[in-house]
Amino acid sequence: MKVLVPVKRVVDSNVKVRARADETGVDLANVKMAMNPFDEIAVEEAVRLKEKGVATEVVVVSCGPATNQETLRTALAVGADRAILVDGGDVDLQPLAVAKLLKALVAKEAPQLVIAGKQAIDDDANQVGQMLAALQSWPQVAFASKVDVADDKAKVTREIDGGLETLEVPLPAVITVDLRLNEPRYAKLPDVMKAKKKPLDTTTPAELGVDVAPRLKTLKVSEPPKRQGGGKVADVADLVNKLKNEAKVI
C-alpha cells in the first residue's frame, strides 16, 4: 500500500510572527522556517504504518517554492521513501490550488491512502484535505487521534465536541490528523545524511495541467491590538462603575 503525505513549509511555531509595515502580509525576512507541526504528525503516522508492514511506500509532497526541498528532506530523514516538489515559484498557492495539485499527483502516483495534517499553522485554513477528498470522491475522516488500517479499511477515532467518534472507511481515503495522534520522532544524523541520497523529483503546476491562479485576495494583515495593563479599584462601587461605564459589560 502506498501512502501519500502532503507537507508544508511554514514559520517555525516558536517564532513570533510580525506583520509587514504595509500590512500586505507576514514579514518572512530572516525568519526560521520548519515543517508544519500537523504535517510532522502525518509523516510520523505514515512511517509507523510502514514499520508495521501495512504500508510499502511513503511518498511526501510539498507545493511551493524551491526552498520547500529542505522540508521534504526532513520528511525523508524520518523515514519517507520518496519526495515530490511541485515548484509553484512565487505564486501564492491557496487551498483549492493545492488540492487540485494533489489530485493530479494522486492520479499519477495512485496511493491507497492520503494522510495530511488537519491544517497549516500559517493560514489555519483546514481545507486541503476535505477539498482533495471531494475532488477525488473519496471518503475522508478529519481530526484523527487514532488510526488503524487493515483489510482495505481504515478505522479512525476522531476528536469531536464533547468526546470521540470512531469511523470506518474503505480505502482509498483521505485522513487528516490531529495533535494527539502521535509524537513525531527526531531525525538522527545518519538518517539526515541518507536522506540526501533519496529521490526527490520536481514538477510544476503547468506540467500537471493545474491552474493555480489565486482566487482570494488578502486585503490586510495586521497584528492584534496590544492588551492594556490592569488597574486597581478603590472599592466595590468603583469596580461596578468601571464595569458599567468603561468596560460596558453590565
SS3 annotation, the chain: CEEEEECCEEECCCCCCCECCCCCCECCCCCCEEECHHHHHHHHHHHHHHHCCCCCEEEEEEEECHHHHHHHHHHHHCCCCEEEEEECCCCCCCHHHHHHHHHHHHHHHCCCEEEEECCCCCCCCCCHHHHHHHHHCCCEEEEEEEEEEECCEEEEEEEECCEEEEEEEECCEEEEECHHHCCCCCCCHHHHHHHCCCCEEEECHHHHCCCCCCCCCCCCCCCCCCCCCCCCCCCHHHHHHHHHHCCCCC
Q: CA-based diameter of the chain, in Å?
A: 72
**What b/e sequence results for 74-94 when a residue is b if at least 16 CB atoms lie within 10 Å of its CB, and e otherwise?**
bbbbbbbbbbbbbbbeeeebb
What are the residues whose beta carbons fall under 8 Å from the beta carbon of 235, sequence distance 6 or more?
none
Cα separation, 191 vs 219, whole angstroms = 43
pLDDT of residue 89: 85
Contacts of 243 by beta carbon, 8 Å cutoff, 6+ apart: 249, 250
Residues of the chain with pLDDT under 70: none
> Is there a contact between 69 and 45 (Cβ–Cβ < 8 Å)?
no
**pLDDT for res 30:** 85
Q: List the domain boundaries for the chain.
A: 2-218
Q: What is the reported pLDDT for 61?
A: 97
Q: Which CATH number describes the domain made up of 2-218? A: 3.40.50.620
Q: What is the pLDDT of residue 191?
A: 93
pLDDT at 162: 86
Q: What is the pTM of this model?
A: 0.86
